[in-house]
Amino acid sequence: MGRGLVSVTQALLVHDFVPDRATFLLGTVFAIKMVACVGVAPVAGAFAGHLPGGRCW
């Protein structure tokens, strides 16, 4: 729920501040977020694979 709420809030804020370029800015922001998630996930998975098994907390 948190990630979806942040996305909706970003969309509303961008539309309020820059209504004429909101589509371009939102597309750019969401594309950067997706590239970051897709790029970080394999690295984090590889790092977690080298950790000893068991609980982390």
pLDDT in tens, 2-37: 778 888 888 899 899 999 999 999 999 889 988 888
Instruction: Note whether residue 57 is domain-resident.
Output: no
| Within a domain: 55 | no
Comparing 53 with 51, which gets the higher pLDDT? 51
| Residue 57 pLDDT class (50, 70, 90 cuts) | low
Q: How many structural domains compose the chain?
A: 1
Where in the sequence is the domain holding 21, given as residue range(s)? 2-45
What is the C-alpha separation between 5 and 57, in angstroms, rounded? 28
Please give the structure tokens belonging to residue 48.
């977690």
The answer to whether residue 25 is domain-embedded is yes
